[in-house]
Structure 1
């Protein structure tokens, strides 16, 4: 777009058009052509001077995007009207709008819009714009100055009116409502309040309010200073303005404002209230508008806050004055009532010695009525004749010198009754100067009963001290913090210390420190009214031995019944404790013996049951075979031999059972006869293998023996050792399937200090049998226990073989154990000490 095309017709370029183009290019005003879509088509060079943008930077940009959002809508509407109306050529009067300068600030332009004449160029709008920023700012400054002047005048009116209100009444509630109404003329708020500070309690209280009742419900009346707006004002000493963002953020800074935030308050203003140089609280303003309270508002609030602070102080002083006057009147009445109802006699005397006051208790104490006493000399009424000279001399000395040795202190002396008898009294005399003359006021108490009580108490204390010092039990007193006050000789003898030594002992020396916590709890409960139950306590004597005691404690009280410490009676129960321990041990041993007897009884029943079953089984076979032979005597020889072999086999089984039972019984009872001799282990193993050879053949099992060649000879019972190896081989044969293998190994093992044994032989019988579960390792060495008791094809046996092995091996001083893997086989080990004959245990 060229400026020559703005109004030219095709083919025409006159000198006038050149002049017009030159004017546009050099004009101070901006000339702009907008397309109907609002984009820049042409901008004159002055655009860069006014807006900071070169024409090239804005060509094709939307003009309304560079206008202030508050002005763009109105300008767009004018633009749209011109574009839409073909008959409308110009927009009429100039219009102002804000255009964003390239550096970001706003430039105020005043523009007139006109349609381009029809021609070869596309339709558009020509805008002639002038920079009126300075003119606009000048007008705005003048308006603001006028507004400020009006506001300051209003502020002066408000401040003056607030002063008049404060001076008109001391009713602070009325003053605050009128004050709030005046302030609201210039400051917009929903509620205003005055808070007071209690520095001793570190709290703040809303004392006076003005605003809707529903707003007041959103605030706590008294809150801690910490986390409050008033607390922040007090800490900073200057106004505090808070604008809400979210309830959570408000709560983080001012925990006590979050509730009002949720109730709709969005702005808070706190102003220090200062009176006589001291901050006494804060003037608080609350608004439901966001970003409320301008700097002018804050300044005005600061000026009137001190006014209301002074009003509050004056009102409170006036209230205090009224209270003081009422208290004074009440005090006079109360003092008169106190004097008349006092338990002590009250006597007033002037400086000449005449009675001027005499209460009802004085009438009872001395026998004179008030009418009889007032106006007479005190000397003639209650002072014994022998003290008359001292009385007169004392008055004269005080009036002359001001010295009064008996004044303003409690003293005891003798007084005289109307009937002539004398009695002890306690009195306090206080001088009072009125109108240049002295009065002497005295409170006098008859202490006859107290003197008698003191005598009785001294006698009682003497009797108690005799009992205390000669008591068989330990006794003592202490404070609640553990400080020892007194201990009697019996307690000191009990622990072996002197009382001075005990007072200097460190914690944990006389008794364990845990008792301190126990006793603290007991004594605290006692102070709550509970009884202290007896409890046991272990002391440590000076010689280090322990003494067990039972403590019975109670509260020690003074004459007024106040708890002042603990009184304890300590009984030595060491012998009783030792006897109880012995009884407990004896009871435990009896219980253990009873359990053992019960176990033996169960074992006896199990033994009888098992043995009867094992005896019955072969006997049943023997009896059945014999009955068949007797019933069929003509059976063929081979059949008869078969039944005879059954009888023979079952008789052998019965014999082994009886032998095992007798052997085990003799071992357990200590009646087994042992035959000691030197024995070669190889011979023992050979004898055991020979004795079980038929079983190996019947079960198609192989046996391999592997013994170290240099095994030492044993001093042992040969037959019993053979019995051990035979039982272990028989056990392996029973639980090893056909075609399996069994090994016997033996080696010498060095001495082991851990088991206390010297040199020994270790024998192992291994097999490829069914194996043993780990949980059954201990059970298999118990009587009548067998591996695989749940198997349907459980091997025949009594369950005595392994227990017999255990008894024999342990008698020799060795050990026996098993190692096994279920499904792969077992290895039974036993050790036999290589021991000289004289060292063998019997």
Structure 2
């Protein structure tokens, strides 16, 4: 109140409600006019100047409150003004900034002159009302605690103006102006001016804090990015984590910081880096020893969620009859000694450990501003550990592969996209008789003969083609490499592309020295030729003598003797066929088997083979049905070798067809599209009505020394060479051979021979 109005009536009556309302309206208007009149002078200009100074000089928060003490003291004509800053963590007010009127005695006051609002009913009420108040003879106030009264007495407080300074719902402190003379009181205008100054302070401090928080977050983020640059893969994991711990402690203001990492088995947690945590916690977490991961996860279940992390709240000691505090509203509460903040170190769904912090410098429980930087550091730690794990795995893998490359007997060459040699292992250096310095940077083609270099170029184009990928391979390419002595060394090569960061960067070449293999193959071929010659010569003599006896050149023979001679002749023929097969197989092994194709008619050759097997057909009463395409043109083939194929297929069909069974032989024209070109083939089929071939054996039936189980059913034994030789002969003609079979339905052996469309090729 700034005054009053006394109203009386001549008549003996009371004022009614309408009259009272009118008077209140008039008094309110008069009060505002009087207040505005008193505030419109130089003092108001001082307040505006104060506000402008705060903004223009870009003062920090401390400087603003120091300037506020001086301004309030001057505007309110106070002897002194003190800003009592509030420490929320410990819950006390202490004098931070002072201003004493010139000539006034500076009373004793220090940061040890603390007052505790929660223990003082008067101050608690002042803070709740959150408004500017003038208090006369404050030391004598009945609700003032003895501790506060003693402190105020030492400061010679008498008539005071108390102004709470709050930012939102957060108390920053109290501005207390004092007039030491008991007859000097604060007027309503001075209260209003003080309130206006505090409003200006709030506005400016709010902006300063926003800028400060933004700068702090920027600084923290910059520190995180700097830390990311500092973390190098060649640093030890312990060194990396210690850097992160120091950065969290220094940059975010946490006295206790620890990083717990899972062990290799993922069953327990080890403290890998720590700062602080010098005293034991009553939470059951022991940072001096390893902890079972399951037990730690059980502890986390007791915590409340905090962003992506956890907050362990110290259990409150609740007095009987007093309601326990809830878990909501945690942000900004005073920090308790057993509180903990924990964030998982997790990336790409993999948990590597936990970041644990405690004892913040400001002694306040975390706010969202505190949480975000911690999450950044937790993510940084997780990525660092994940990268370290991958780096260690990569180093171990590199070491294993390098050891393998350096010790293996096969040669290994790595080339770039320009065919320059990047790496050769000892096996290659030994093979070529050259030093490493001679080979690195050398064009790969220079190591091979000109013909092999051309084949290498074709191989390179295959490996580095646009459609190729990491699974592209070139296998068993036989080339000739040139040693330092100009020797041509046969090698088998296996090549595949090299990728770096998903981009082709070159290719690998694995080399196998074939000299020993080639030497063995020649020895084997020579041995086989010798054995074949030594077997064939006496067998030819035996066959000749059998023919002389059968033809009765040396005398008459009876029917029984003739039958025995037929059996002997048939077995001699089998042995000669077996010898021929071994000879062909040995030639195929060393690449000396050739064909001599000429124009011929396939149906005529088939008819000849049918006639050759008449005796066996008659003995087993097997019927042969022919379906030969008379319109087939002349084919370009080696009649001797194709006759071997037909003989083998007919022999097998007759062997495995039961008595009184049937064998079918057919030929027909077949058209195919090969690489967008229309090609024609003669298709020849020999089908029996035997027991068939099991499905699991069809894929290997044309391999050497492979025999189907149907042989056992008919008590027939063979070498397993016949069909493999058939396949080689057909392949040399540019055709295909395969079998279609199902058990109990017989087998159908089919092969094709190409029909040449170019008369020039046929003539050549």
Assess same fold via TM > 0.5: no
The one of the two structures with greater contact order (alpha-carbon pairs below 8 A, sep at least 6) is 2
Name the TM-score, length of structure 1 as normaliser. Answer: 0.32
